[in-house]
Homo-oligomer: A and B are copies of this chain.
Amino acid sequence: MSENIHEMDEAQEEDFALAPETVNEVLDAVEAGEAGKVEALLDPLHAADIADLLEQISGTQRRALLSLWSTEIDGDTLSELDESLRAKVVSELPAGVLAEAVRDLYTDDVVDLVEDLDAAGQETVLAALDSTDRVAVERALSYPEFSAGRLMQRELVKAPEHWTVGQAIDYLRGEDGLPEQFYHIILTDPRMRPVGYVTLGRLLGSPRDTALSDIVEDSFRIIKVTQPEDDVAYAFNQYHLISTPVVDEDDRLVGVITIDDAMAVLDEEHDEDIKRLAGVGDESLSDNAYSIMWRRFPWLAVNLVTAIAASMVIAQFEAVLIQIVALAVLMPIVASMGGNAGTQTLTVAVRAIATRDLTGANAWRVLRREIAAAVMSGIVFAVIIGVIGVIWFGDIRLGYVIAAAMVINLAVAGFAGLLIPLALDKLGIDPALASGAFVTTVTDVVGFFAFLGLAAMVLL
């Protein structure tokens, strides 16, 4: 019995995420002003969980918590915070605490922390660093935002390509300043260009006289310092990389990117795509109502314009609507089905473009497939909705009209759902960002026009 309880407790622990009960306990302690209790509760938590806690509570609660606990905050927690919240917290922290917190961080984490701050915040953080670190951070900030140069760490382990396993092991055993985390030795030629890499596991498993060049990994890719970070994430995911060397304009080794950073980028890219498809910008749960309202406003404003455009199509058929009010009842069905079918196709297209599966080479074949699928399901739904129309309103011609409009609108949805994201991608616009508005405009306009236009021709 006690064994079972023990197991249940463990199962709870292994949910990994921050427990809601912990959040509530911390908030109770904050409300009671018990700094010692707050510290005792937060101390065992991972920095990522403390950051989640700060994101989940309200602004008032957060300020109360930080006033009790801010001297304990460390750089890792700041690194883990959402960008928008991080800027707020950094501006609220006493300068001394901030300086203390950032001094513990690796330079790539400082870059990540600093790049989203305003000029004053950046200055505060940079001033807290010693001069070597400051130069390294400023150097990294000189690379474009979202580039490999911002993502890489400068701490790396390299060896000349002609070394043996024994030489490499002796070098590592004798070296003092090794990075805390490294998994590979990068081999360089005399001009400091990376030519391959050896995993530490393979190094330890090979005889001392083996040439390093004989045990390099097959899968070796070099990243340019200016390469966009989404290319980096793609390469790691596609080729199962664990770390990659980063080179400057002259192909010289300047840094290394490891898979945990690439995984974080992949996660951010996905988050951005999923939100952009829904017309939501870069917002977080810690943003207030006013801020999220304005972040979502542009998409709703675009939608208002397209909805009015669709209404203007309907207005052209006022004469028909006055005579046959059933049309007003049924017309949203045609538009709604088209909108949903279009969204299905465009989501598949946006994903396939992001994973680089949809290209010029197969666009034509995929288009034929989408149209064929759309026409087939159009026919099925046309029969269903046609029968419903006839039964509901007792007019067989109304059934023909809505059935025909359904086939037309679903075919157009397949066409627009594929070609609009492809066209936006060609124009260099993120298809996740803009496709939705275009596609639903097309399906609304075509849906209303086909249905009401056919009705005007057939029924009047």
Contacts and interface: CB of A to CB of B under 8 A. Distances in A.
Interface in A355-377: 355-362, 365-366, 368-370, 372-373, 376-377
A158 interface: no
A173 B162 CA distance: 21
A280 B361 CA distance: 24
Given A180-B201, A204-B169, A351-B271, A289 B376 contact: yes
A201 B198 CA distance: 13
Interface stretch (A94-102, A120-128, A292-300): A292-300
Given A322-B322, A332-B314, A303 B46 contact: no
Interface string A287-320: 0111011001101100110111011001100100
Q: Is the interface of A mostly helix, strand, loop or mixed?
A: helix
B344 A278 contact: yes
A454 interface: no
Interface in A370-406: 370, 372-373, 376-377, 380-381, 384-385, 388
A213 interface: no
A46 B239 contact: yes
B352 A336 contact: no
A147 interface: no
A164 interface: no
A227 to B, nearest CB: 7
A429 to B, nearest CB: 19
Contacts of A221: 16
A392 to B, nearest CB: 8
A403 to B, nearest CB: 13
Interface string A10-51: 010011111010011000000000000000000000101100
A175 interface: yes
A66 interface: no
Contacts of A358: 285
A356 B299 CA distance: 26
B329 A311 contact: yes
A458 interface: no
Contacts of A352: 285
Given A236-B263, A377-B296, A343 B278 contact: yes
A48 B356 CA distance: 12
B332 A332 contact: yes
Contacts of A318: 325, 329
A337 interface: yes
A357 B236 contact: no
A242 interface: yes
Nearest to A330: B311
28 contacts: A14-B222, A14-B231, A20-B359, A24-B361, A46-B219, A55-B357, A172-B204, A173-B204, A178-B205, A180-B202, A183-B183, A183-B242, A242-B259, A262-B263, A263-B266, A266-B266, A277-B277, A278-B346, A285-B352, A290-B373, A292-B348, A292-B370, A297-B377, A297-B380, A303-B336, A304-B381, A308-B388, A314-B332
Interface of A: 11, 14-18, 20, 23-24, 46, 48-49, 52, 55-58, 157, 169, 172-173, 175, 178-183, 199-202, 204-205, 219, 221-224, 227, 231, 234-242, 259-260, 262-264, 266-267, 270-271, 273-275, 277-280, 283-285, 288-290, 292-293, 296-297, 299-300, 303-304, 306-308, 310-311, 314-315, 318, 321-322, 325, 328-333, 335-337, 340-341, 343-344, 346-348, 351-352, 355-362, 365-366, 368-370, 372-373, 376-377, 380-381, 384-385, 388, 444, 448
Given A23-B361, A178-B205, 4 more contacts: A263-B263, A300-B337, A304-B381, A310-B333
